[in-house]
Structure formats: structure tokens, C-alpha cells
Structure 1
Amino acid sequence: MSYVTGCVLPVEAERRARFVDQARKAAPLIREFGASCVVDALGDDVPKGKITDFYRSVAARDGEILGFGWIEWPDSAARDAGESRMMADPRMDVSDMAFDARRMIHGGFEMVVDEGPAGPFGYVDGFVLAVPSENREGFIAHCLAAAPLFLRHGATRHVECWGVDVPAGQVTDFQRAVAAEPGETVCFSWIEWPDKAARDAGQKAVFAEMDTAMADNPMPFDGRRMIYGGFDVVSREA
């Protein structure tokens, strides 16, 4: 089963160019270590929430923007081997990073839904949510039923990932990001679009159709605690 390392991080806005440069230099190395795809994106349309949101997930400060990204691996064994090589390779320079790594949240996820033709993309909608662990199959079924709605309106890929190795952090973590309760699993998801214009038009069409199309497919999780936003892709290596 494909495995995903997902992360959210606070990036200093004035060091945006450095973040992009670092991401583009690191991605080919991570591919060399066994990853099948490496993506980094920066916040463009990220709303504030009443209960949870991406800003609070990483305790974002004034002058910081949000980073959302992931690494796809063939399986968990490839992830383990790749991360070991990554940590030992002197080319992976982590000094003078353009973000505060102490507030970065990260975790390991199994890819349970991967729908769409895929291909090049320039924009993503990112999501993090908490699902009752006993609702795993219902969550997968819900997402498989929802994916065609987005694909019909211009999305090229719809991915849902189930948390399997999501560590607690000292400052921030995925559990706190979505106010996860006992017995809930954190999920990491994204929808790929060709560009922002396609996303804006597609999202408008999806919202107009949502009530009817999803009437018989209620969310098997608390949508009030889901965090979401739109991100510009700044680095992609596949």
C-alpha cells in the first residue's frame, strides 16, 4: 500500500524564495532515497476557522505563511529506508531553514483513496481531519463516492490518507491541529487541480452541486474540526 509522509509548517514570508529554493534542491535527493513523488506548496487561500484552522495547527505568527506538502513512497518499508538514508546524507542540509522546524507537524499515512487521471498540477486543496477509528471503512466509502464530484468539475486527482504513524509533538502536532478526541484517527488529504483558475471554477461548481450530490453520503466525521485551504505548488518532483 502506498505510504505518505505529510507535513504542515510555518514559513517566514520574507524567506519565501529561500524556502522554494531549499524545497527544489531537496526534492531530487528525496526521490533518490526511494520516494516516488515530492510536493511542496504554499498557502494562497487559507481561511481562518472558529474551532481549528491551518494557522493554529502550527501556531503561525504574524509574518508567516503556511506550507503544505507530502512525500509519496511505494510502501512503509521504503519510507523507513529512505528516511534513514536521508538523515545520514550530508547533502540534506537542514541549517538555516526558512521555517521553524519545532512547529512543523508531520506524520505517516496509508493512502486509502487515490482517484483520478493525475498528471501535472499547479494548485492543491489540502485537508486534515479527525475520523472515528471505527469509521475507517465508512470514511473510505464516503471519499470514493465524493471523488467523482470533484473530478467531474476539473480536479485531476483526489487522495485520502489514513494516519498510521502520527507522533505527538511538544509544541504542535496533527492531533491538536484538528482537536482529535480519543478513538479518532487523523487523516491527511488533498485534491489536485491544473491551476488556481481551474480550482476556483471547479470549487464553485462543486459547492453548487454538493447538497444534491452528497445528500445520501453524509460525512462520517466532524466537519467543524476539519482544517482546509488552497495552496500554490512551488516544487514537484515525480
Structure 2
Amino acid sequence: MRTCYLATAFWGPDDGPPLSLALVSDEGDEHFVELDAGARNIADWFDAASPLVRERIVAQRATVGSGRTAQRMAEATADWLRRFGREGEGVKVCFGSPRDWEALLRCLRPTAFCNALMAQMMPADLTALVVSPEACALRAESLEASRPRGLPGLHALAEALALRHVHRTLEERGRRLAEFYRSEAFQQLVSLLDDPRFEPWLRGWCGGRIPALGGARPVDVVSTAGGIDAVRNCLASALNGGYG
């Protein structure tokens, strides 16, 4: 099953379409659509839009009916999902807010392939993941990296790219932690103290940012030259000060 990440720039009532919608894949495929800047309720959209969308609204205010109606937006999104989930592989759609998932479903309803698409899509709710301080820092990092592309914060494509960055980075860190817990180096650290409470505490310590290590995580430091000694010395100092 292929994976993509969803974000929307949304305004107004819950039963309305998103202002803009983006889907990005692990492989780098990108889909971005926004509503026609000349459609009704232009004042509301302008006030709620991201800076990039505002610029496009101003530039296209005279182009009423330019084609990005809710129907065309739905058809373009359905077409991208059909091609992305080719040959019946299915698509896992990751989102950082249930409202984004609901907005995608509403967007697809006008299409002829709505039922078929819904049958092949598997939602993956990352809401609990994206609210952590670590995830917020990664999101800000990704949004800053998007600026050269002209994608400011609150823009659907910038947010979808940020969600992908957060998820992939935290998954990779989790994988490295799991491998480290099985390593000989971790067992060396565990052997420093004969206390049944120590290993659970140590697992959390190894995955956290330690000021004495320059804000780095022990799990990352141990893979560097002399890293295991630095971690061991830092841990010894922490144990001398007590833990719990």
C-alpha cells in the first residue's frame, strides 16, 4: 500500500470545501489544488487564505470561472489518487487533523469515482503524533525549508510537506531507538546500575535531548567517534545526582 500525506487550508462551515488541498507522497509526488479565486465569497476566502493564496486571488480576481471550482478541484484530486493508487494497491492517507480527512472526503463526493476511491483509501490519523514539542519543532523546520519555494505557513502544500517530514523523522528516530535498545552498547549502560527501575528510566533518557551533550540525544551520540564514552560519562554524572 502506498502512502501519501494530506493537508488542507480550510475556512468557514464544516460542510464546505477546503480553500486549498494538498497531497504528497513518500516518493516526492505532489498534488495541490485551490478553489477558483473568482468564485463567490471571495472576501471570506481572501481573509482566511495564506499569503501565497492571497497573492493568487489578487492576481486572478478578474478570472471568474477559471476552472478551479469545487467540482474541478474534486476531479483533479480524484484523478491524482487514482493514478497514485494504481493497480489496486490502495493508498494510506496520513493526516494531522481529522478535519483534513473529512475535507478530503467532502471534496471527492462530487466525483464519479468517489465510492471506488473511498474503498481503496486507508486513513492514518497522526493527530497524537503532531502535537508533541518535538513534532512542532520539526514542522517549523520544514516550513522554513519550504520558503524558497514560495510556500508560506498555513499553505496546504507546505503543511503536507511538513507532516511528511514530521512523520518520517519521528519514525526513523523510533527505529534507531529500538535498534539501540537491542545493542551491546545499551546493555553496557544498563549494567552501570543494579536497580530494576533503572532500565525503563534509561530508555527515556537515551531518547531525550541532554543539555550536557549539547542538546543531543544519547542514541545519536553513541554512533559518533568516542560517543559511547561521552554518553557513559554523562550518564555517570546523572546517576551521581540521582535519577527517577
Q: Same fold (TM over 0.5)?
A: no
Q: Which protein has greater RCO, CA pairs closer than 8 Å, 6+ apart?
A: 1
Rg (Cα) greater in structure: 2
Higher helix share: 2
Higher strand share: 1
Bin for the TM-score computed over the shorter chain = under 0.3
What TM-score does the superposition give when structure 2 sets the normalisation length? 0.24
